Amino acid sequence: MGVLAPIGRLLFSAIFITSGLNHFFQLEALTTVARNAGVPEPQWAVLLSGLAMVVGGLCVLLGVFARLGAAAIALFLVCSAFMVHRFWLVADPVMAQDQLIHFMKNLSMAGGALFIVYCGPGPFSLKRRGRESGLGGGRLGVPMR
């Protein structure tokens, strides 16, 4: 059953690594989206969020500083939910529903990231030497103190 942890880390981190890389490859388009949403310093926000997603996703995937990486992902997701997916400001009901779905998806994934912050990366992580504490690692089931 221990193999479920690395599979879970892979499935969880894949969207952040690929989407984060997309922030660099589609910088102009995503900057426009951020600007239209009223995000301050939209180009810097897109670059920093892309960096947080790629680095955070790799940390979770590899189990190295997984708690810190998951915390960065959670912060990005909550900020993105409230700054970009403001469904309550959208007049068109179809567009509002679309933004509500993205808002709830971000909050749900932030919850998953916070669970990783709490429990750590689990077995088969690269940083598995003994019991690790703090935001850098730890075993599944060993909560952060």
What would the pLDDT profile of 93-125 be if each residue is shown by its tens digit?
A: 999 999 999 999 999 999 999 999 999 999 988
d(CA 10, CA 60): 8
pLDDT at 137: 46
Note the pLDDT of residue 2. Answer: 83
Residue 132 corresponds to which tokens in the numbers above? 């690790």
Minimum mean pLDDT among 61-75, 97-111, 123-137: which range?
Answer: 123-137
This prediction's pTM: 0.85
The average confidence (pLDDT) of the chain is 90
Share above pLDDT 90 across residues of the chain, in percent, rounded to a whole number: 81
Confidence of residue 132 (pLDDT cuts 50, 70, 90): very low
Read off the tokens for 27.
């910088």
Q: What is the DSSP letter of 121?
A: -
Long-range contacts of 71-79 (CB under 8 A, 24+ apart): 71/113, 71/117, 71/135, 73/16, 73/109, 73/110, 73/113, 74/110, 74/113, 74/114, 74/117, 76/49, 76/52, 77/106, 77/107, 77/109, 77/110, 77/113, 78/106, 78/107, 78/110, 79/49
**What is residue 138's predicted lDDT score, i.e. its pLDDT?**
47
pLDDT at 30: 96
Determine the pLDDT at residue 68.
Answer: 97
pLDDT band at 45 (very low <50, low <70, confident <90, very high): very high
Mean pLDDT value across residues 29-57:
96
